[in-house]
Chains A and B, each alone.
Chain A
């Protein structure tokens, strides 16, 4: 049963690094308006004034930052990625020689013959 920390982890994967501060559109609706205009500069004065921005400072969660921006800042080390380490997929151990097979099956408490006959 996962505990509360492990459930919350994906939501707070990205945090603002020390000394950094970011401002970005607050929520998907505001982000969509800015993205559709291809940037804040391209919004009309009226539209710009209506966009709500969010400010995050060092240590705060910034996992809702626009993905394109996140990639840039993670690469620079301005945003810390707690899930950056890749998890390699598990692979079945492969025994190449008879000796290896014997050692492996002994370790798991079965004989080579038993496995070969019964799977």
Chain B
């Protein structure tokens, strides 16, 4: 299990302001399902019912009080009821690492602390009423002076696509059986929750010649069964083993964009791309054209999101852009 320290917490973006450098002592982010107590009189235990709302909470403690641009003070100058877009990553500013995104009206408790013979600091607590998303960084916060593409490493970057099959939040399913038939039917130990057309990566299954250890589309036949389009009638091996992991999701997702610096003469267009095979990529999200610093956007998409994710940008005119993108799958 990897461990992380404060040095990994380098991305805390609020409406295009990176506040991480301004935080001194502690920071936290959390999501909370809001519930209401619903137990009647006369019972000995409490019961709570979700009301369908999710609340995000971000806290920055002991930050440096600074009225300059991109500081705690500037980013929270209007403190009540303003809808903001937030992206924060505590596992490092690295492609493929997780981030947490928020969009909604933020109520802020902002305290400025003056100390005798000391530096003035500030504590900020953000209460987000709105969407809270867990996703992966597709484009880590980085400055570009030319077009880029994270799948090919543009502008000198050594980037790579994000592979859903190695996403740490993924759940692996154990295979308990696979038939020697056409098509081959696979049985899982627990309900797989798959949808027909969704793709899975099977590994460690002992059916051989042909085997089913590859990235395959499924046809769901039951809560713990599905078929794959391989004729295993003549295969050897028991086939009652192996694991699978999802390689596509079917319920859409949410993309995040934050731009902390922008000097490009005309504009920049940023996209998140996805691919089922890491060969052909298609546009998943095209963000609104960027013309200024502190741009931000949270954009939803429906339908299939494929296994591999990448991000690209096209600059029109000379200059520089510092940009972050991330995607949360539903």
Contact = CB atoms under 8 A, between A and B. Distances in A.
A101 B268 CA distance: 73
B223 interface: no
Interface residues of B, number: 20
B237 interface: no
A74 interface: no
- Tell me whether chain B's interface is mostly helix, strand or loop, or mixed: loop
A94 interface: no
Contacts of A25: 279
12 contacts: A22-B283, A23-B282, A24-B279, A34-B278, A34-B279, A39-B308, A40-B152, A41-B278, A48-B151, A48-B152, A66-B279, A68-B277
Interface of A: 20-25, 31, 34-35, 38-42, 45, 48-49, 51, 53, 65-66, 68-69, 72-73, 76, 78
B281 interface: yes
A41 B279 contact: no
A41 B307 CA distance: 12
A77 to B, nearest CB: 10
Interface stretch (B53-61, B98-106, B156-164, B170-178): B156-164
Interface in B127-184: 149, 151-153, 158, 160-161, 163
A31 B278 CA distance: 11
Contacts of A31: 279
B304 interface: yes
Contact of A23 (B160, B276, B280): B280
Given A41-B161, A41-B308, A72-B276, A48 B153 contact: yes
A39 B275 CA distance: 10
Contact of B283 (A20, A39, A72): A20
A72 B8 CA distance: 38
Given A49-B152, A72-B277, 15 more contacts: A20-B283, A23-B281, A24-B281, A39-B277, A39-B279, A39-B308, A41-B163, A49-B153, A53-B152, A66-B279, A66-B280, A69-B275, A69-B276, A69-B277, A73-B282
Contacts of A78: 282
A18 to B, nearest CB: 12
A10 to B, nearest CB: 20
Contacts of B304: 76
Given A40-B161, A49-B153, A21 B283 contact: yes
Which 3 A-B pairs rank lowest in CB-CB distance, beginning with the nearest? A39-B278, A69-B280, A21-B283
A21 B152 contact: no
Interface in B292-328: 304, 308
A69 B85 CA distance: 35
A42 B277 CA distance: 12
Contacts of B90: none
Contacts of A76: 304
A76 B161 CA distance: 22
A21 B308 CA distance: 16
A25 to B, nearest CB: 7
B218 to A, nearest CB: 14
A55 B308 CA distance: 17
Interface centre among B161, B163, B280, B282 (most CB of A within 10 A): B280
B273 interface: yes
A60 to B, nearest CB: 13
Contact of B279 (A35, A48, A49): A35
B282 A40 contact: no
